[in-house]
Structure 1
Amino acid sequence: MAQHEQTSNERYAHQLLARLTEWSTYTERIKAQHQIAPSAARYTLVNDEIRPLLPPDIENLYTHQYEALRAALGHEHVTIATATASGKTYAMALPSRVRRHRQPGATLLCVAPTRALIQQWQERLSSWDPALRVEVYTGDTPQAERAAIRQRAQAVITTPDMLHMGLLPYHRSWAGFLSRLQDVIVDESHMYRGVFGSHVALILRRLKRVLALHNAQPSFIFGSATIGNPEDHAVQLIGDDVSAITANGAPAGGRLTLLWQPPDDSGYVEEAAGLLAFFITQGVRSILFGQARQTVERMVRLTRSMLPSYLQMKVLAYRAGYTVEQRREIEDQLARGEILGIISTSALEVGIDVGDLDVSIVAGFPGSISSFWQQAGRAGRRNRSALSIFVLREDALDQYFAAHPSMLLDQPAERALVNINNPYIFPRHLLCAAYEQPLSLADQHLFGPATAQTLARLVEERELVQHGNRYYLRNTRQSVAFQVSLRQVGERLSIMSATTGSRERRIEETDIHHAISECHPGAIYYSQGVSYEVQQLDLAQKRIDVRPHETAFYTEPIIQTDVQIQEVEQHQHLPRLHLYSGRVLVTREVQGFLRRHNRYRTILEQCELEEPLSAPLETRALWMLIDNALIEELISARRDPAGALHAVEHGMIALLPLFVLGDRRDVGGVSVVPYHPQTRAATIFIYDGYPGGIGYSEEAFRQWSALAQATLETLRTCSCAEGCYACIMSPKCGNQNRPLDKAGAIYLLNALLYKKSTSH
C-alpha cells in the first residue's frame, strides 16, 4: 500500500469528524475523544500439512489463530477473546478441519446462541469444506429429518436450548456422532452469564458427562468478546482448565471514539437519529444501536423523516420479533452493501456479518463496557479507521461516563459471572442428568461440592431414588429437560390474549416475580410493540389474561419491599459502617399502581389493588449498616436520613454495571430508617433480582469502596440541585423516587469512604 494511501486511511475517521463541523456546533457536544491507533497484522507461518486446509485466499494464520490451533490440537480447552472482526470463526473451526484431515471420521459440534449465527456457521463451514456434511439441529428442524441427521451428520450446529432438550436426553441415539466427537465450539460465550449462563454451564457439564459415556474427550473451543475474566469464565462454564488467548494478531485500521452529549432541547434518541441521517446523506455506511425494541422503531421513523425520499428505504431496522425470512433478507442486504443505515438492538452486537461499515453510533449505554465495545466495533475495516459515537442519555451511568470518560474508554471490561450452584437452577439440572444416566457422588467433580447435599435433598423430596451409591430418577416416562426453562427461574406463567371469537393465544411466558410487578390487574403490558391491558392474574392457574388496548399512558407498580436476613456469609467492618453479604428473603408487595402519561411521564391517576400481591424471593444481598452517630449527624445537618440512604441505594445500583457484567434491571434495593428489625441500625440492602442470587451482590461487596466512590463522584458532578434521572432517580423505583436527598447522600458517602477496614 502506498504511504499516502495508508495515511489517508488512518485519518479517515478524522475526516468524517471534520464533516460534522460543517453540520453542527459539535464542539459543545463532544465530551471526550479517544483514539485507538491502527495495528499491523502479525502472522505465524504454517507448515505444508496445514496450508491446504486454510480457507480460500489465506496462506498463513494470525498469531492468535495459530495459538488456538496449537492448543486445541494439543487437546487443551481454549477460549479466544479477541476483538470484533479478528477472524475468531476460522480460529475456532480450523482445529476440527485439521483433525478431520488426520481422522476422516472425526465430528464437530457447534453451539451458537442465535438463529442468525447458526445460519452463518452453516454457510461458512459448508463453503470452506464442501465435502463436510453440515447439519442444523434446532427446534425448527422437522421431526421427520431428525433421525437422518443423527445418522449422517459430520458437523452439527445447535443452540444451548436444543442441546439441553433435544440432544442430551436422547444421547444414545447420537452414539455414533458423539463417540467420534473431537471438537466442541461454543460461540459468543460471553453471552452465557447470569441466569442464562448458569444454565449453559450446567448443560456443558452434562455434555461432558455424556461424552465420557461414549468415550469421547473433545477439545472445547470458546469464542468470546473481550470480558474481564475470559479464562475464569470459560472455566466456570465447563469446570475444567482452559487456556485463554487474548493477544490479537489481526490488523485493525484504528478507531476514533466520541462521547456525544445532546443539547438540552434534544433527547438522545433524536440526536442519534440525526447523526445517522447526516452520515447517510454523506454516503457513509453506518450502524446505530438502540437499547430497546421500541426505541429502535422510533429511531427508524425519525431518521427517515430527516432524509430525502430516495434515501428513506436505505435505512432499515433489525431486531428480535421479525420473522426469520425478514431478518434473513436484511442480513443479505447488509452483506451485499445495499443498505446505507441499519438500526438495531443488541441482535447485531454478536458476530453476524454486517459488511464494511465506517461509522457506529451507540444510543445510550448498553449495560456493560464489553457490550459497548462490541457495538462500537461493528464498524471498521482492516485498512481504514472507523468513527464511533456514544450518544449519552440523561442517566446516572451515562452521565458518569461524561464526567469520567476514562472509566469507559480506558478501563478493562467487566467480569462475567455464573453460579452453577444456584439452588433454583442446580437441582433441576441434576434431575436432567439423572435422566441421561443415573448419578453418583463421583459426579461431584463435574457439578461441584454442593452435589452430595443436593442429591440427598432430592431423595427426601422423592424426585430421586437411591440404590447403593447410585441415584435414579423416580419418574422416567418423560425427559425432565422440557420442564426447565433456560431463560427464567422459578414458576412460569402464561400470558394469554383473547383473539377473534372465543379463541385465545399465548403471547409470552413470564416468571412469578415479574408477573407480580408487571402483570397485576390494570397493568399495561407491551409485547412485540402491541399494548395490552391485564385483566386477571391467576397465580393458582399460572396464567395471566390480557386484552389488546392502546392507551396514552403506561403503568408503574407501587411496591413495599421487606428484607429478612437468613444467613451472613461475609462481613467487613469499617469505622462508620458494617458491610455484609449473604442470603436473604425479599418480599415485594404490590399495593397499587400509577398511570403515567406516555410522553411527559406525569402522574394521571393512582390506583389501589383490591388485594395486594406478593411473592417471596430467596436470594443474596449486600447490606450496609450505618453508624447511629452518623444518622444523628445527618439530622443535625438538616438532611433527611431516609432520603439520603434511598439516594445512595439508587446511585450504587445505577453504577453497578461498572463493576460486573450484568444488567442493573436484575438488581433491587431497599433502605430502612430509623432501623431494620434484625440489624437494629439504619440499613441499605442491594439484592440480586433472581431466586438464589447470581453473584452481583457478592461482586458489589468485593468492590464496595470503588462503587461508593463512583457514586459519590456522580452525585458531586451532576449539575442538578436536588436529584434527577442523571444521578439518583430511578425509573423502576417502587416508591416513586420518594424520599430522595442528594445533599444527604453526598454527606453520607463522604463520611463512609477512605477508611481502613478489617475482614471476618
Structure 2
Amino acid sequence: MNRFLHALLTRDWKTARVAHHAVIPAHPPRYGRLQRPLQRALTQALKSLGVSRLYSHQAQALEKIRDGRDVVVATPTASGKSLIYNLAVAESLLEDPDGHALYLFPIKALSRDQLESLHQFFRAIPGPKPFSADVYDGDTSSYKRAKIRKDPPHVLVTNPDMLHYALLAYHDKWQSFWSTLRYVVVDEMHTYRGIFGSHVAQVLRRLQRICRHYGSAPRFVFLSATIANPAELAERLIERPVQVVNEAGAPQSKRHFVFMESESSLSGLAARIAVLAIRGGLKTIVFTQSRRMTELVHMAISRSAPDLPPRVSSYRAGFLPSERRHIEQALANGRMAGVVSTSALEMGIDIGGLDVCILVGYPGTVMTTWQRGGRVGRSGRESAIVLIPQPDALDQYIVHHPDAFLESRFETAVVDPENEAIVKAHLPCAAAEIPLTREEAAGWTEARRLALEDLTRRGGLLQSEDGTRWFSPSARPHRNVDIRSVGPSYTILAPHPSKKGAWIPIGTNEGIRALKECHPGAVYFHRGQTYVVRSLDLEKRVVHALPKDADYFTWVKSEKETEILEVLASRPCANFVARLGRVRVREQITGYEKKRLFTQEVLDFTPLELPEQVFETVGFWVEIEEAVADKIRRAGLHFMGGIHAMEHAAISMFPLFALCDRNDIGGISIPFHPQLQKSAVFIYDGHPGGIGLAARGYQIVEPLLEKTLELVEGCSCEEGCPACIHSPKCGAGNTPLDKTACSLVLQYLLGRRPLFEEAASLTVEDPWDAVPLEDEPAPEPRKPAIGFLDLETQRLAQEVGGWQNKHLMRVSVAVLYDSRTEDFHVYREDEIPDLIGRLRELDLVVGFNIKRFDYAVLQAYTPFPLNSLPTFDILEAVHAQLGFRLSLDHLGEKTLERQKTADGLQAVRWFREGAWEPLIRYCTEDVALTRDLFQFALEKGFLVYEDRSGNRLRIPTPWNLEKMLGK
C-alpha cells in the first residue's frame, strides 16, 4: 500500500494531478454489555467464530430488539450489523424452535452470500441439529421451492421481488410460516428509496396484512448504511414507530482518501491507476457512474495492459445472472484481481479482501461514497479510496471542497409510499391475497382511499354487493407489477454467436431511458463490446442490436414543456415565491448526436421520430419576478441562458441534500409560463406520480440555491463549463447558457443584490385608487365564529418594487382574535400554516384592508385561495359608502378616541431588531381596534370621521351580521 500511495502521489500523470490527500486515522473499538447475558450456546458460538465481546451498537440494538421494539441500525459498512439480527433470531429460536424469521436482501447475490454466513453461524451453535436456513428466489429450482414451501426453514432468505411475486401471492401455501413468523430482517434499507422504495413500502404493508390474517405480529429489524433520516425512512416503509441505533462501536482501520483532478479521459486515468494497483499486488475495485463508463474503463485496462484481461472484468446491471455469479466467485477465490463495476457491487457481497477503491466520478452522495469506499480495508488492513471527478458540476464541487465533503452530514433518503401509480398497482395485489374491507380502508391515508375509489370506478377492483369488501378481477395481478420501475421494461437482443438467425438477450432497459439509450442508431456497450441498435419495437418492447466496432457514442436531444395541474404548497423566500405542486411533463425526443469517444467531438446529428412521452409527477418551482428579467436584460445578458444555467446547476447540487441521481429528477426553465404569467424554473421527480424528491427540494429550496450560487461563482471558467452549468443530460444541447446571468439571477433571488431601488421617502399606506370594488359572495357558514385579523411584514413595499409585489413582503407576525375563545392568537412566519388552517374554520374573517393587503401577503404561503374565505373588509365597506379611503388610525381616533401606537415602518424596524414584544403588542392593538370598530358599527349603525374642514361626520354602516354569516 505504501508503494502504491507513493507512486500515486508523486508520479507525473501528465494531464492529471492529486488535488488533495486526506488520511483518516484508525479508531479503536467501543464495546457494550447486555443487561441479560446471552445464552451459553450463543456465547460458545461467538467464541468459536472469534467474537469475544459485542460492540456498543450491537449490544444497544440487541437490547431494543429484546424489548420488542422495531429497530433500525444505521452504521458504516463492515461494522458487524448482520451479527445483530442473527443473534436476535437465534436467541428467539432457542426459546421457541417452532418460530421463523424472514430475511430480505435487495439483490439475489447478496442473499446467497449472507446465507453462507448464516449457515456458518448456525453450525457454531451447540445442539443436536443446527437451525435451518435456505434461499427462496428466482434461481431456486421448482423442486426445491416445493420442498421449502412444505417444510419452511427457520430462516427464509429472499428478496422483495420474490416476496411480492411468490410468497404473498401464494400466501395460503405458507400458512405455517406466516403464523409463526417472529422477525422480518430488512437489510440494505437505504436502497429502498425512490421508486423501488415506494414499491417495497407497499409490499411490506401487504406482508403485515398477511401476518395479521394468520395471527402473527413479527418485529422488524432494519439495517442501513449511514443516512440522515434512518428512523423516518424505516417508519415510512412500515407505518410504525422505529427505534434507532446509529453510533457505531466497531473499529476502523487507517484509510487514505485521494482526490484527483483530470483534464483528459477519465477512463484512461482510471485504467492507469487500476493497473498500478493490481500490478502492485492490491486487489482493486473500480466504481463508475454508468454502464457506458464501466465498459470504457474495462476496454482501457485491456488495451493498456494486455496481460491483465483474464484477471479483470466489468460488472453491471443488465448482465445475465450466470455472468454475475461467475464474476463474484472469481473475485472471492482470488482468481480475479480487479473488477470494474456500476453500483451493482456497492453492497456487502463478500468478494474477498479488497485494498483499493477507485471512484470514476463522484458517486452522487456522501452515503454512497462511503458505502463504496467501505468495500476496501476490511479485516483491519490499510486501504485507499481514489476519487476521479467527471467534468460535472457536483464532481468538481466535491474535489474543490474536499474538507466540506469529508466533514459533511449524510443525505436524506426520500421515499413516497403514497405515489398514486404505485398504490394503484398494489391494491389489486392486496385484494387478490385477501379481500379489502371497509374497516381497514377507514384507517388509510386519503391518497390510498382515493386510489381505492378510482380503481373501483375503473374496474380495477370489484366491490361486493353490500359495499363492504373489494376483490381483484384477476387472480394473480402481481405478475403485472414490476417493483423496480414504473415504466415498461425492454429486452436487448444480439445475434447468437454460433446459431445463424438466432438472437440472445444481452441486457435490459426500461421506460424513457430505453428510448434515450436504445433508439435506432444508438450505441450500446456490453462487457467491452460495442453494439449499434438496429431496431426498437415499442409494442413488443424488444431492442435488436448488432455488434460493431464504433469509435463514437450517441446522445439524444429533446424538447420539454410542463403544465401545472395543482398547487400543493407555497411560501415566500427572499425575493421569490417557491411552490410545490402536481405537474404534467411532456418530452419529445427530436434526434441524437454522434460524439467521438474520449474527445466528445460532435460528428453529426440524426433526427428521430419517437412517440411523445407524457407523465404526471410532482415538482417544485421558483417563480421569477419580471423585475429580475428586466435587470438581466438591461445588463446586456441573456435571461433565458441565465435561468437555464440556474436549472442545470441547481439539479447538479440537489444530491447534496437528498439521495438521488440525475435520472431521478428533471428540470425545465421557462422565460414566460402562461399559467404563471412570469418566468420560472421547475425541478420535478422524473417518475410518474413523484417519489418525494420534489417535496424535499421545496423544503430546502433556499439552501439549494445558496449552494448553486456558490458553485457558479466558485468555478474559474469564464463562460460556463461542465464543472458548473453544463449538463450531460440537457435535451437542448446546453444552449443557451449564460453563466454571468445565472449568477446575477441567483443573487437577486436570494437578496444578495437589491432587486428594487428604495424610494427617497418610505411610506406605509397602499396608494390605491377609488375604483368601486365588486362584492364577493360568501360561502355558506358552518357555525357562528368570527375572527379579526391583522399582520405586519418583514419588508416595506418599496423594498420589493412596489405594492404590486405584496407577495414578496413576507409576514413578521400575524394576530387573530377568535370570537369562539375570546383570545388573541399570535403567529410568526413558521406558524402561518396554522393560521391559515384556523381562518378556514371561521364563518367570517374581519379585517381592515384585508382583501387587498393581508390576503395578498398571506397568499404566498398557501395554494388555498384566500379570497374564497367569507371575509368582511371594513376599508372596502367604507370606501363603497364614501367613494374615498380613510385610515384605521383616523377612524379609531374619531370614533373611539383611540389612536394607533405605531405604523408599518416602525413595525419593520422592530422585526429587524428582534424586538418581538412591542411588535406583537402593536399588531394586537390593531386587531383590537378593528374588532371594536366593527362592533361599534354593528351596534350604533355608523362610524365617525372628520372632513378637511374639521366637521365630524357619520359614515352609515347598514351592516347586517346575519347576512354576512349567510343566514
TM-score normalised by length of structure 2? 0.72
Q: Secondary structure at the match of 1:720?
A: coil
Say if 2:497 is the partner of 1:480: no
**Residue 595 of structure 1: how far off its partner (Å):** 3.3
**Cross-structure match for 2:910:** none
Q: 1:381 to 1:26 in 2, by over 3 A?
A: farther
Count residues with an aligned counterpart.
740
CA drift at 1:355: 3.0
Corresponding residue for residue 661 of structure 1: 659
- Code of the residue aligned with 2:49 in structure 1: it is P
User: Could you report, residue by residue, the CA deviation over 1:680-737 in whole angstroms, capped at 9, with x for unpaired residues?
Assistant: 1011111111001111122111111111111112212222221111111112111111
Indicate the residue corresponding to 1:574 in structure 2: 573
Q: Is 1:176 matched with 2:176?
A: yes
Match of 1:402 among 380, 384, 399: 399
1:738 corresponds in structure 2 to 735
In structure 2, stretches of 5+ residues that fail to align are 124-129, 753-793, 795-809, 812-860, 863-967
**Among 64, 87, 93, which residue is 1:71 paired with?**
64
The amino acid that maps onto 2:68 is H
Match of 1:628 in 2: 626
Q: 1:219-298 residue pairs with structure 2 within 5 A?
A: 219-262=219-262, 264=263, 266-298=264-296
1:360-379 map, 5 Å:
360-379=357-376
CA–CA distance in structure 1, aligned partners of residues 25 and 68 of structure 2: 36
Q: Does 2:701 match 1:693?
A: no
Match of residue 36 from structure 1: 24
CA distance change for structure 1 residues 403 and 396 in 2, over 3 Å: closer, same or farther? same
Distance 1:314 1:524, change over 3 A: closer
Distance in 2 separating the partners of 1:26 and 1:230: 44
Quick check: 726-735 or 466-475, which moved more? 466-475
Q: Identify the residue that residue 532 of structure 2 maps to in structure 1.
A: 532
Given that 1:655 and 1:711 are in contact with CA atoms closer than 8 Å, whether structure 2 keeps it comes out as yes
Task: Please give the per-residue CA displacement for 1:161-218, whole angstroms capped at 9, x wherever unaligned.
Answer: 1100000011111011111111111111111110011001110111011011111111
Does 1:80 pair with 2:79? no
Greater alpha carbon shift after TM alignment, 298-307 vs 96-105: 298-307
2:137 paired with 1:144:
no
Matched, 1:94 2:87: yes
Structure number, greater radius of gyration: 2
SS at match of 2:390: coil
Instruction: Provide the C-alpha distance between the structure 2 equivalents of 1:676 and 1:503, rounded to a whole number of angstroms.
Output: 52
For residues 503 and 204 of structure 2, the distance between their equivalents in structure 1, rounded to whole angstroms, comes to 37
Secondary structure of 1:643's aligned partner: helix
Instruction: Summarize deviations over 1:33-72 as a string: whole Å, max 9, x none.
Output: 3343322112234525141353622232111112222222
* Structure 1 residues 143 and 545: CA distance shift in structure 2, 3 A: same
Which runs of structure 2 are paired with 1:245-644 in the superposition (5 Å)? 245-262=245-262, 264=263, 266-303=264-301, 305-307=303-305, 309=307, 313-337=310-334, 339-444=336-441, 448-467=445-464, 468=466, 470-476=468-474, 478-491=475-488, 511-525=510-524, 529-538=529-538, 541-544=539-542, 546-548=544-546, 550=548, 551-609=550-608, 611=609, 613-644=611-642
Structure 1 runs not aligned, ≥5 long: 1-12
Kindly state the Cα deviation for residue 25 of structure 1 after the two structures are TM-superposed. 7.0
Change beyond 3 A, Cα 1:414–1:608: same
- Could you tell me how far apart the structure 2 residues matched to 1:445 and 1:721 are? 60
Contact 1:532–1:549, Cα closer than 8 Å, also in 2: yes
Distance 1:33-1:602 versus aligned 2 partners, 3 A rule: closer
Hey, what does 1:17 align to over in structure 2? 5
Structure 2: distance between partners of 1:360 and 1:474? 49
Q: 1:718 to 1:121 in 2, by over 3 A?
A: same
Conserved? CA contact 2:414–2:692, under 8 Å: yes
TM (norm. structure 1) is 0.91
The separation in 1 between residues aligned to 2:526 and 2:272, in whole angstroms, is 27
Distance change in 2, residues 1:31/1:444 (3 Å)? farther
Measure the CA separation in 2 of the matches of 1:651 and 1:318: 31
| CA distance in 2 between partners of 1:248 and 1:575 (Å) | 40
Supply the distance in 2 between the matched residues of 1:176 and 1:720 (Cα, whole angstroms). 66
8 Å CA contact retained: 1:281, 1:307: no
Contact 2:320/2:507, CA 8 A, preserved across alignment: no
> What's the counterpart of residue 893 of structure 2?
none
Task: Tell me the amino acid that sits aligned with residue 635 of structure 1.
Answer: R
Q: Distance in 1 between matches of 2:603 and 2:340?
A: 33
Name the amino acid aligned to 2:603.
Answer: L
* RMSD of aligned residue pairs (Cα, Å): 2.7
- Please give the alpha-carbon distance, in whole angstroms, between the structure 2 residues aligned to 1:285 and 1:495: 32
Contact kept in structure 2, 1:75 and 1:218, CA below 8 Å: no
Q: Is the 8 A contact 2:168 2:210 kept in 1?
A: yes
* Amino acid of the structure 2 residue aligned with 1:750: Q
Which residue of structure 2 aligns with residue 6 of structure 1? Answer: none
User: Is the 1:20–1:26 Cα contact (8 Å) retained in structure 2?
Assistant: no
Contact 1:434-1:471 within 8 A present in 2 as well: no
**Structure possessing the higher relative contact order (Cα contacts under 8 Å, 6 or more residues apart):** 1
Match for residue 647 of structure 2 among 649, 652, 655: 649
Using a 3 Å threshold, how does the CA distance of structure 1 residues 114 and 651 change in structure 2: closer, same or farther?
Answer: same
Structure 1 Cα separation of the partners of residues 380 and 591 of structure 2:
58
Q: Tell me, what secondary structure is at the counterpart of 1:51?
A: helix
Aligned residue identity for 1:74? D
- Cα separation, partners in 2 of 1:582 and 1:48, compared to 1, 3 Å: closer
**CA 1:679 to 1:295, structure 2 compared with 1: closer, same or farther past 3 Å?**
same
Report how far residue 14 of structure 1 moved.
7.0
User: Is the alpha carbon distance of 1:566 and 1:357 closer, same or farther for their aligned partners in structure 2, counting shifts above 3 Å?
Assistant: same
Structure 1 residues 48 and 144 mapped into 2: Cα distance closer, same or farther (>3 Å)?
A: closer
**Residues 389-424 of structure 1: CA deviation (Å, up to 9, x unaligned):** 211221111111122223321111111111111111
Instruction: Report SS of the residue matched to 2:244.
Output: strand
Q: Equivalents in 1 of 2:488, 2:381: separation in Å?
A: 51
Contact 1:421 1:450 in 2 (8 A): yes
Compute the displacement of 1:496 (Å): 6.2
Aligned equivalents of 2:392, 2:687: Cα separation in 1: 24
- Please, which moves more after superposition, 657-666 or 96-105? 657-666
Structure 1 residue 296, shift from structure 2 partner: 2.8
Q: Say if 1:53 and 1:97, in contact at 8 Å, map to a contact too.
A: no
3-state SS in 2 of match to 1:661 = coil
Q: 1:444 to 1:67 in 2, by over 3 A?
A: farther
Which segment drifts farther, 489-498 or 339-348? 489-498
Deviates more, 1:514-523 or 1:389-398: 514-523
C-alpha distance in structure 2 between counterparts of 1:105 and 1:749, whole Å: 63
Asked if the contact 1:118–1:158 (Cα under 8 Å) also holds between the matched residues in 2, the reply is yes
Given that 1:14 and 1:256 are in contact with CA atoms closer than 8 Å, whether structure 2 keeps it comes out as: no
Query: Among residues 26, 50, 55, which one is paired with 1:62 in the alignment?
Result: 55
Q: Distance in 1 between matches of 2:443 and 2:523?
A: 44
CA distance in 1, matches of 2:583, 2:38: 61
What amino acid sits opposite 1:171 in the alignment? H
Alignment partners' CA distance in 1, 2:750 and 2:33: 54
Cα contact 2:108–2:158 (8 A) shared by 1: no
Distance 1:28 1:167 in 2: 53
Kept in 1: contact 2:575–2:750 (CA 8 A): no
Would the alpha carbon gap of residues 612 and 316 (structure 1) be closer, same or farther in structure 2, given more than 3 Å must change? closer
SS at match of 2:614: strand
1:100 and 1:461, CA in 2 relative to 1: closer, same or farther beyond 3 A? same
Does the CA-based 8 Å contact 1:624-1:683 persist in structure 2?
Answer: yes
Matched, 1:676 2:664: no
